[in-house]
Structure 1
């Protein structure tokens, strides 16, 4: 993997230098106010996990076999433009708030709300942040609170409020088709954490590059150094082969290598994991087959570097299928109803099965998950772009793996989102 990683970087730089440099985005700046945007996203979420085989709610300390929460969340993002001149300056700001509608103490721990010292869920939560930014040509430096989406450091937005990272990032698009990213982050706020540092992150240095070899073929490499936790490397290749106007094949490959370091605060981690998927699209239909393989002394580890840091094909609604030595297969079907006269309506179902897991009790662990999802996005009218999404997961693990990953359960979520562009 290491040879592939550096070969890709060399190829990307060599190919990129043969291209003309992009026109300077800073030269086109209209000003701090003129290029400003203000966006609001409202989200309502109902979530229920119903545990099976006599398992209680393990996090809430309850003998009831389920967790259930309902809440409303609001996410507001302001992005200024850049001042004019050789180096432009600007400011980004964000504000978040959530309100609990339902979810008692004995049913908590779906990750929607924090709990106080007595275990009672908060009725409302708010947090915010800001960052200053500077742009020279097509390179932007930003310092402050940020939403990050690197495969080796990614903030999670799977509940009501997102994780937020604090640090410095540089994104450069000086070479045509090549994007370079570097960053250093020193704290991470959890989705239910209102403080700036609630996940225990010491510091994380990250770097990455994405190059578009053609309009249908891209490659990404990335690496991170999370102090006293681990060092991680990542590679991705994605290629789409058009067949005709209605048919295409997509090939996707992802791989990670993670090795603990320093104080081993995340445990003694030694893992290599890769996934590959082939998707055939035929008009409104898409059929996907995927395979994922984990090797090493441990399974894949992440979290302190962001709950979204798992860019693998078999990372799905409940399980990531990342156990030690695990092998997993996925079959998936997607349907876009726009072809049948209902634009905005889509369906998805997938089944993933994993085995060969080295469970902590020395036996072979096994797990499987079946997911179903339907989503509708309003196409016109006063609530245009409002979406309604129903997600269902049925997860089962055998006795050997049940205690390692999580009890067998049914996971049901209903999500309503309404994005608004205010300016």
Structure 2
């Protein structure tokens, strides 16, 4: 991902990482049967299960470019550059959700108001905003703004729910991203069916995205492309758990006139973390051009493999990732549709790139401080080669223009993080997280060289 647009995931070791288990992971086969419960039969009523609550998040970031990199902003009609950018925003979500009406077909509604209050309004600090602080055309911060982040109606039969309107959705290709003061959401229709014990189905048709730091709805575009837009995304897939120790997921998506993309993910657990546990994670994406080929010709295979070892409070994870294609591994902007182990501040997704990550984490609950966690990681990418990119096809001959200059580029990233979640009292589940990341790229590597300190505090609340 472009560095200015990416979640700072210094606390995340990888997409699939070692976690602590109280007992050995069972390797038993799980037969597929009908679900033992019927969610709709247990509905209490539209008003009876009504809830009102939300969260407020204080989001601060301080970035500094080095090795010649700069940010820019407009001052008295002139472009001014310097190395530093700061963003500080308070984002608040108030969510009202009804219960389902009783009967064969249950009906429910959800409405969530999103509000952003800008705490650092300096044009020099925010450098035009981008997707961190909403700014007007002059580069001045919009002091505070609100929007309907969610607004939908749900229909449920048994354990199958149809949702229409602005909503959250989560899959390996189309996934709500929540790494700013406010999250993204999608407008469309989706279905979630959980009629079986270990097998569920999801699907959706979306025509707009509600960005993290914008008031209006937008058409879909890609994270690394030339700004081309599409207004139709179709996706469907399933989650299947054949063994108690193994979970799998398969999804496909048609992004109209961009590409067809397919995702497979699997996570396996073995052993007991009180002695030694092994977690294996595999993620694979296949992307091919489609329709008018607005992103040019694409034929891309990308995968990651992670092995995590856990012993009591400690976990150590090794992750390898490879891109097989002459273009970036790309995905939809304003989504978290990149379930790759080495997607960190950089996505390590350059053309033909290989990368390796080593990460260590410690959970201080084992030492009498529940809720406190630390982690550190180091990742390196090499062999980035865009010299074979032609971009032929469709209306965008060079959808990834500039990629051709990347010839044997490399980069590295280091991160350290600490997080604490309050365990009890009136502030229970309040979380504070501080992360520091340093990324260094070779001359033509797309992410450049940058350091970032980020501090995020999230406080949930219930009103009703």
Q: Normalised by the size of structure 1, how large is the TM-score?
A: 0.91
- 1:24-423 alignment to 2 at 5 Å? 24-57=38-71, 62-108=80-126, 109=129, 111-128=131-148, 129-197=150-218, 199=220, 200-243=229-272, 245-304=274-333, 306-316=334-344, 318-359=345-386, 360-401=404-445, 405-423=446-464
Change (3 A) 1:104 1:18: closer
Which structure has greater helix proportion?
1
What is the rounded CA distance, in whole Å, between the counterparts of 2:419 and 2:32 in structure 1?
43
- Alpha-carbon distance, 1:74 to partner: 0.3
Change (3 A) 1:260 1:84: same
Is contact 1:17-1:175 (8 Å) kept?
no
Provide, for residues 320-353 of structure 1, a one-character-per-residue CA deviation record: whole Å limited to 9, x for no partner.
1011000000000010001111111100111100
What is the rounded CA distance, in whole Å, between the counterparts of 2:35 and 2:425 in structure 1?
42
Is contact 2:57-2:90 (8 Å) kept?
yes
Corresponding residue of 1:9:
none
Corresponding residue of 2:399:
none
What is the rounded CA distance, in whole Å, between the counterparts of 1:422 and 1:215 in structure 2?
38
What is the rounded CA distance, in whole Å, between the counterparts of 1:73 and 1:201 in structure 2?
28
Is contact 1:364-1:400 (8 Å) kept?
no
What is the rounded CA distance, in whole Å, between the counterparts of 1:167 and 1:371 in structure 2?
37
What is the rounded CA distance, in whole Å, between the counterparts of 2:338 and 2:96 in structure 1?
28
Segment drifting more, 359-368 vs 129-138: 359-368
- Alpha-carbon distance, 1:103 to partner: 4.2
Is contact 2:104-2:158 (8 Å) kept?
yes
- Alpha-carbon distance, 1:212 to partner: 1.2
Segment drifting more, 240-249 vs 360-369: 240-249
Is contact 2:325-2:351 (8 Å) kept?
yes
- Alpha-carbon distance, 1:303 to partner: 2.7
What is the rounded CA distance, in whole Å, between the counterparts of 2:289 and 2:362 in structure 1?
41
What is the rounded CA distance, in whole Å, between the counterparts of 2:142 and 2:299 in structure 1?
38
Unaligned runs of 5+ in 2: 1-28, 221-228, 387-403
Q: Normalised by the size of structure 2, how large is the TM-score?
A: 0.83
Unaligned runs of 5+ in 1: 1-14
What is the rounded CA distance, in whole Å, between the counterparts of 1:99 and 1:85 in structure 2?
42
Corresponding residue of 2:21:
none
What is the rounded CA distance, in whole Å, between the counterparts of 1:258 and 1:212 in structure 2?
25
> Displaced runs of 4+ in structure 1, greater than 6 A?
none
Change (3 A) 1:243 1:387: closer
